[in-house]
Amino acid sequence: MSKVSVKFSYDKETKNSVRYKEESEEGKAPIVGTLYVQKWFAGDCKTLELTIDKKD
């Protein structure tokens, strides 16, 4: 099992959701890439952090 936290920053709003882009480290490939979150949950949040717990 391994856990990783991925940070996202605001990119733009779409009709019903807010799009965030992953803040990946220089020289590393993104894990998630683009994340869409529904507006009712995201509100006016400019940054998100997502923790992924990989179960092997």
The residues spanned by each domain of the chain are 2-54
Could you read off the pLDDT of 1-56 as tens digits, one per residue? 699 999 999 999 999 999 999 998 889 999 999 999 999 999 999 999 999 999 87
- For position 1, what pLDDT does the model report? 66
- For position 3, what pLDDT does the model report? 92
Tell me which long-range contacts 38-44 makes (C-beta under 8 A, separation of at least 24).
Answer: 39/13, 42/17, 42/18
CB 49 within 8 A of CB 40: no
Q: Alpha-carbon distance 21 to 44, whole Å?
A: 15
- Cα–chain-centroid distance for residue 47? 8
